[in-house]
Structure 1
């Protein structure tokens, strides 16, 4: 992280500190409004993403200055107006609105500012061409959610939301495993693909062990089902995908009455992504659980065509 600070200080003295203060203030305002305990989750994620982006940029022979800036700003609009996703405007648009005057006041060239704003918007607008800096940041953001860093963030976020271990796994592990298996095919750089293979394997191995230990000790029992989606699937470049495998992690039985659970799923368009909505309903007492998450987006390079939709490792 010192490397990120040094890279920014060399060309825009004081900017790094101003960005971090803005991120910290934004999260503090949100936690106060939501009556939650103080947190630096957003700031720490932004720092990690910038640090990973710096390393990827060097490996990809890209000047790390713009990737570091885009990484630090990429979630700056998440708590716009002191709320979490308050409106239907993508958070990257709010981030761009924050970045523009700050970067101008820091003396950056207009071309550099425009490159940062374009990079932020291209993170969610697939129709926009992804610059080298944008590709680096997208991969860095996804890599921060993999491996031991991703596992740590998973449980930190669960604790912030007041969820215990079993509740966190029930509500969010389907997303984590689906993203981990898709990660190598979602990356936009060669470095990102290589690192994603390494880090995704760590994610899958950790949660495999955790679920097995929970079952062995008689604490909780989960099963994994694979849902195959085959209709209206597109990669980032607009090319069609034949199929996408999604891993659903669910209790083997109803937590209320121990009867079996029905699994149903549907898709809907969110603000920035195609979402999968998963509903579990007990056949006995009617107890229901619902979770939703964005489907992963594949890069769809020519070399990956035979691999798209396959898991890094088979689901159990």
Structure 2
């Protein structure tokens, strides 16, 4: 191809006049226009005042509300997992009714003024549940909806087959938290990604992401997490720093069961509601929390963010005092030496 001398343009009759060497030289010498930014005319003090301030205890969300999805096709017929992708399994008609009832309960919880922000698993049954939870809430009270893959269902290894029942029995003998499904996840794997979600959620809260929805006339925001049974248990485990043994005490929430983490007077979130201690404590015990976990929830209901419960095993030295020496090889070593 013939090129115009001194240029990268092909010789073409329509371009010869435009792409002449002299004109190209002018183009090459032309400088990129300098960009200018307009200075705000607002006084510096008012600019500083308009910036978001750190979230105070009174302006933290009123609640974190955990909701498991409604009854799904897989809950009533496990063979559906053999022919349908887990993420594509939807609600049954009963599951829709459960989600609608949970929506009525949610509206009672948040009242007529408070707003909601949804975090939802991308699985179809979770998204359908989220829709029925929020469809009858006035649109101006819905602060947003975020699809969050990190709170998806535990991965069981793509399409399942008849061997799954045997594999689940193996899980019971191996340990539910650490057992990893072939080509899938263990609960400890779920813990890792839930940890990432927890940090995002805490950042959203502590940076006053929801502050603009918390004007005095609008009431507090409620964060609703629509997810799956094991993922919600792991979320509670990660949030409250439960041990594996404590995690194993907690039962799986039923379809569309609502778990409330209410903001206490100090700003932390607790399963024990200061305004309804007896009822919320009874529910926490039904969920599976033991006396130590209950006492921590009572502490959480009045504590401030950043404060440590020194009676909790991982906060002070009590872990060493309560360590089960039957699990210590030195016990067997001492016995061996004495014989």
TM-score by length of 2: 0.28
Greater helix proportion: 1
Q: Comparing both chains, which one has the higher relative contact order based on Cα–Cα distances under 8 Å and sequence gaps of 6 or more?
A: 2
Normalising by structure 1, what TM-score?
0.29
Larger radius of gyration: 2
